Structure 1
Amino acid sequence: MKIDLSGRIAIVTGASRRAGIGAAIARKLAGAGADLLITYFLPYDRRTYGEPMEGEVEHLLGELRALGVRAYGLEANLSQPEVPRHIFDAVHSLLGAPSILVNNACHSESGSIEQLDPQQLDRHYAVNVRGTVLMCQEFLRRWRSARGGRIISLTSGQCAGPMPGELAYAVTKAAIDAMTISLAAEVAGRGVTVNAVDPGPTDTGWMSDALRKAIAAKSYLGRVGLPDDAANLVCFLASDQGEWITGQVIRSRGGI
């Protein structure tokens, strides 16, 4: 089955690290012919991954353009409530009206219940919940077509198992599941599908060898998830072939 997204415009948030899920999604959409605006926030990446990040975005944009599509990057701090509007202003100015929104950006900090404080909760909420909802709102405010709209959010495995030591992250990502189901019903009939993808534990460079082996032992194929696994599913949901799927939280976890 060949997926053709030629003539479509997509926004992918949180696509700075070339080894990450956002970058894999951007490559997959571009490979299917979609033009792209990717967003990133380098200060968060530097703090989280301890990497300098210089040149990562430019390299990724080069990869996307080499696939024959238009591709732009925009640094965007989604913890700021006015930023979603600025992102959509930019994509309309640079590329035109988007029909695909992939909410991949997130905020994640480890911390036990004893370490949790209001500021940590607010940092997670601002990006994972408010930022995501406002991106969806801005997409829908500007949507004018009768069909073909796609909102796809990346979620996590709160319904599949516990995440001790990551309570703020777990609570705010679980909100994505609830939003997906309700928003899909609210926009029914407007030509927009709304889905979420839970890719399970995905190796984007953060896993130790021991953790990788432990996770692989539990999986269907004896390996951990890879960014392309999530990207394949997102690309399908973005396509015409995915038109009949909406209001779903898809647990694409390799059996874990």
Structure 2
Amino acid sequence: MERLISVVTGVSHEHGIGAAVCKQLAEEGHDVFFTCYQADEQWAEEFRTMLESFGVKSQYAAVDLSESHAASSLLDQVIDSLGFPTVIVNNAAYSTRDGFAELDAESLDAHYAVNMRSTFLLCTEFARRYETLGKKKGKIVNLTSGQNQGPMIGELAYASTKGAIAAFTVTLAAELAPLGINVNAVNPGPTDTGWMTEAIKEELRPKFLSGRIGVPEDAAKLIGFLVRDEADWITGQVINSEGGFLRK
């Protein structure tokens, strides 16, 4: 049986969605290659070792996804260390606060390079190599932040570049369906990955109809399902998994 090999980008700390996805996939028997740009080297090595405690192989690289050649280079590293991947999870994101008064070309370019270009090129480079090798089944999951659910005031560059991922996902899914590659996107909603202050939690908690704030494991469980055989008939979807979050 062919081994399951997953690539997860944007794994920089223990409490993030990326780390939760890696753990979910490792528990399900996936070898995991994760990117950890600007993460603590000691933490990354300890995290890799922890993933291997599930009986799988794991490697990582400090990849700067803003570089134009990052997607191709990353896949080369994955193939050299673990083999050709079966799953791509585009979790990495770049975000700075802005608004119409602060938005400029430099900020737009920085957001575009990571949020759009790196995601788009990793998806398409994976698909091209997949087709050349004659693979039979692959999964891509892209992370959005619910930009089509409502405005994100003060985050024009982030909202616009992450919002583009939803449109890209729908069209790419149609192109790759004949190859046997499923492409979906997940919007996890407001998730407590360590950035929420107690004041923010108090403000958000009443808006979650499920009675609690989202945690990284919520997104990880959904992604774990989307890359299983049970989800073979699901493609081209942008899934808003927000626990009934009320935006108004």
Bucket of the pairwise TM-score, normalised by the shorter protein: over 0.9
Question: How far off is 1:213 after superposition?
Answer: 1.8
Match of 1:48 in 2: none
Match of 1:214 in 2: 203
Does 1:36 find its partner at 2:32?
A: yes
For residues 218 and 168 of structure 1, the distance between their equivalents in structure 2, rounded to whole angstroms, comes to: 26
For residues 166 and 243 of structure 2, the distance between their equivalents in structure 1, rounded to whole angstroms, comes to: 19
What one-letter code is carried by the residue in structure 1 that aligns with 2:86? S
C-alpha contact (below 8 Å) 1:6/1:33 kept by paired residues: no
Match of 2:8 in 1: 12
Unaligned runs of 5+ residues in structure 1 are 46-52
What TM-score, normalized by structure 1, do the two folds share? Answer: 0.92
Match of 2:183 in 1: 194
For residues 29 and 247 of structure 1, the distance between their equivalents in structure 2, rounded to whole angstroms, comes to: 21
Give secondary structure in 2 for the equivalent of 1:250: strand
Q: How does 1:104-115 map to 2 (within 5 A)?
A: 104-115=91-102
Q: How does 1:150-165 map to 2 (within 5 A)?
A: 150-165=139-154
Match of 2:136 in 1: 147
Does 1:183 find its partner at 2:179?
A: no
Question: How far off is 1:221 after superposition?
Answer: 1.8
C-alpha contact (below 8 Å) 1:33/1:69 kept by paired residues: yes
Give secondary structure in 2 for the equivalent of 1:72: strand
Match of 1:64 in 2: 51
Does 1:203 find its partner at 2:199?
A: no
Question: How far off is 1:65 after superposition?
Answer: 0.7
Match of 1:97 in 2: 84
Give secondary structure in 2 for the equivalent of 1:90: helix
For residues 243 and 42 of structure 2, the distance between their equivalents in structure 1, rounded to whole angstroms, comes to: 32
Deviations 1:121-172 (A, max 9, x none): 0000001001100100110111134532001000011111210001100000
C-alpha contact (below 8 Å) 1:145/1:191 kept by paired residues: no
Question: How far off is 1:12 after superposition?
Answer: 0.3
What TM-score, normalized by structure 2, do the two folds share? Answer: 0.95
Give secondary structure in 2 for the equivalent of 1:33: coil
For residues 173 and 79 of structure 1, the distance between their equivalents in structure 2, rounded to whole angstroms, comes to: 15
Give secondary structure in 2 for the equivalent of 1:171: helix
For residues 20 and 122 of structure 2, the distance between their equivalents in structure 1, rounded to whole angstroms, comes to: 20
Give secondary structure in 1 for the equivalent of 2:20: helix
Does 1:121 find its partner at 2:114?
A: no
Question: How far off is 1:58 after superposition?
Answer: 1.5
Does 1:22 find its partner at 2:9?
A: no
Pick from 233, 241, 245 the counterpart of residue 252 of structure 1: 241
* Structural RMSD (CA): 1.3
Give secondary structure in 2 for the equivalent of 1:112: coil
Unaligned runs of 5+ residues in structure 2 are none
For residues 219 and 156 of structure 1, the distance between their equivalents in structure 2, rounded to whole angstroms, comes to: 16
Question: How far off is 1:6 after superposition?
Answer: 7.7
